[in-house]
């Protein structure tokens, strides 16, 4: 308001007052302050000036000088404004009943309010207080909706995986137990040095986050796959288990595990087949999912994005996609073995175990990889 009273000249002339009393914001307060300075001794006057932000030693920190400056300022504002301010100050019922409050009370009220502000955190059944926030706690707060959505998608994936080919839905207990096991697994698998692009495929399969028809990125229309089969039970089930390149990857895995019945939970939820070490299986399953993804991309380029290749694939195209997937699987295992010594978290490696063993110098090697098969 003070700034608006007389434009730039006003600002310049009365700059010492504005800068010296930064909390003096209204003409009414200025009139009131003049009265205070006139009524009280210099000590009380200095205290009143302090409430408006006067610093000791400043030009306007002394009551007499401040009064002169305030009167000079008031003489520069339009008469009607000054009259209105004086009328307001004269009729003011008292500090607590009137508005605005003096700065020290405003500051107290702000401190009181700030001390009580916070965010209710449903998950933790607690309140994050404004005065206690950190970058970490605020980030966690922002992530709550995303975490909730991810948890729902994980739960849907668990149900999808447990539904099996017979389409018998799991019981709530079965689904809850599998989800708990998956969560535990997600934390532990993160400690293994699996390449990021293979880890990403696994994460996206869990979220159903591929741009294939029926995925969460696309909607509606689900046409038969180029392998010739309908995408029965959804695109995730087809491309990451049933489609020809995916089935080829399963066969490749079964060469190491003859007689084992593999299902979607073994790959999607990293459930370890009986008799195998967890760590090795996590490497195998993530390599297999990535290989299935490679096979799908080879068979259905541009799938879900529009403008891709449609119609039944030729026998050559199908064979090429299956071969790409098989090579990607073998490459995945080899890439992990190439890190050398078994990392912590891989678990025990029996001398006659499948997939990965320890060789000369304790270094990892891939079991039974045909010569020249690595792409
Ligand atoms: Zn297919």
Q: What is the pLDDT of residues 112-130, one digit of tens each?
A: 888 888 888 776 677 888 8
Closest CA to 255 of 369, 90, 113, 364: 369
Residue 167 is predicted with a pLDDT of 67
Q: How far is ligand 1, taken at its centre, from the CA of residue 241, in Å?
A: 9
Residue 223 is predicted with a pLDDT of 67
Parse the chain into domains and list their residue ranges: 2-113, 147-366
Query: What's the pLDDT tens digit per position in 158-209?
Result: 998 998 766 678 889 989 999 999 999 998 888 899 999 999 999 999 998 8
Q: How far is ligand 1, taken at its centre, from the CA of residue 226, in Å?
A: 6
| Residue 306, pLDDT above cutoff 50 | no
Rounded CA separation 352/316 (Å): 37
Q: How far is ligand 1, taken at its centre, from the CA of residue 329, in Å?
A: 18
Spatial CB neighbours of 64, under 8 Å, sequence gap ≥ 6: 42
Q: How far is ligand 1, taken at its centre, from the CA of residue 334, in Å?
A: 27
Residue 348 is predicted with a pLDDT of 87
Question: What rounded mean pLDDT belongs to the chain?
Answer: 83
Q: Where does the pLDDT of residue 57 fall: very low under 50, low under 70, confident under 90, or very high at 90 and above?
A: confident
Task: Enumerate residues with CB within 5 Å of ligand 1 (an ion).
Answer: 225, 227, 243
Residue 372 is predicted with a pLDDT of 40
Q: Where does the pLDDT of residue 225 fall: very low under 50, low under 70, confident under 90, or very high at 90 and above?
A: confident
Residue 32 is predicted with a pLDDT of 85
Q: Where does the pLDDT of residue 222 fall: very low under 50, low under 70, confident under 90, or very high at 90 and above?
A: low
Residue 317 is predicted with a pLDDT of 92
Q: Average pLDDT in the 311-326 region?
A: 92
Rounded CA separation 49/26 (Å): 14
| Residue 145, pLDDT above cutoff 90 | no
| Residue 373, pLDDT above cutoff 50 | no
Q: How far is ligand 1, taken at its centre, from the CA of residue 163, in Å?
A: 19
Q: How far is ligand 1, taken at its centre, from the CA of residue 244, in Å?
A: 6
Rounded CA separation 208/215 (Å): 6
Q: How far is ligand 1, taken at its centre, from the CA of residue 159, in Å?
A: 22
| Residue 371, pLDDT above cutoff 60 | no
The Cα-based distances of 361 to 144, 268, 280, 367 in angstroms read 47, 34, 19, 16
Q: How far is ligand 1, taken at its centre, from the CA of residue 245, in Å?
A: 8
Q: How far is ligand 1, taken at its centre, from the CA of residue 103, in Å?
A: 73
Q: How far is ligand 1, taken at its centre, from the CA of residue 196, in Å?
A: 26
Rounded CA separation 215/222 (Å): 10
Residue 375 is predicted with a pLDDT of 36
Q: How far is ligand 1, taken at its centre, from the CA of residue 156, in Å?
A: 22
Task: Please tell me which of 96-100, 222-226, 247-251 the model is most confident about, judged by mean pLDDT.
Answer: 247-251
């Amino acid at each position: 308001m003070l700034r608006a009273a007389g434009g730039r000249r006003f600002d310049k002339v009365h700059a010492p007052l504005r800068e010296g009393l930064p909390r003096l914001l209204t003409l009414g307060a200025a009139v009131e302050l003049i009265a205070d300075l006139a009524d009280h001794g210099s000590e009380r006057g200095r205290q009143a000036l302090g409430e408006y932000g006067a610093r000791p030693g400043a030009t306007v920190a002394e009551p007499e000088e401040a009064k002169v400056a305030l009167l000079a300022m008031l003489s520069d504002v339009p008469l009607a404004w000054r009259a209105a301010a004086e009328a307001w100050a004269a009729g003011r019922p008292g500090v607590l009943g009137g508005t605005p409050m003096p700065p020290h009370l405003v500051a107290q009220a702000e401190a009181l309010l700030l001390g009580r502000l916070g965010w209710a955190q449903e998950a933790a059944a607690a309140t994050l207080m404004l005065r206690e926030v950190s970058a970490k706690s605020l980030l966690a707060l922002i992530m709550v909706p995303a975490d909730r959505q991810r948890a729902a998608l994980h739960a849907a994936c668990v149900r999808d995986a447990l539904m099996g080919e017979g389409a018998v839905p799991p019981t709530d207990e079965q689904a809850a137990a599998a989800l708990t096991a998956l969560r535990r697994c997600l934390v532990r698998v993160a400690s293994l040095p699996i390449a990021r692009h293979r880890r990403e495929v696994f994460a996206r399969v869990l979220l159903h986050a591929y741009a294939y028809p029926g995925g969460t990125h696309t909607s509606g229309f689900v046409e038969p796959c180029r392998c010739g089969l309908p995408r029965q039970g959804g695109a995730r089930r087809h491309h990451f288990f049933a489609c020809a390149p995916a089935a080829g990857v399963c066969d490749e895995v079964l060469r190491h595990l003859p007689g084992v019945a593999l299902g979607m939970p073994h790959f999607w939820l990293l459930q370890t087949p009986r008799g195998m070490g967890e760590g090795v299986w996590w490497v195998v399953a993530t390599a297999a999912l990535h290989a299935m993804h490679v096979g799908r991309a080879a068979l259905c380029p541009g799938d879900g994005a529009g403008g891709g290749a449609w119609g039944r694939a030729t026998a050559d195209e199908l064979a090429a996609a299956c071969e790409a997937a098989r090579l990607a699987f073998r490459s995945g295992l080899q890439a992990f073995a190439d890190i050398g010594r078994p990392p912590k978290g891989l678990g025990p490696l029996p001398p006659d175990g499948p997939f990965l063993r320890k060789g000369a110098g304790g270094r990892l090697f891939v079991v039974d990889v045909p010569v020249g098969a690595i792409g």
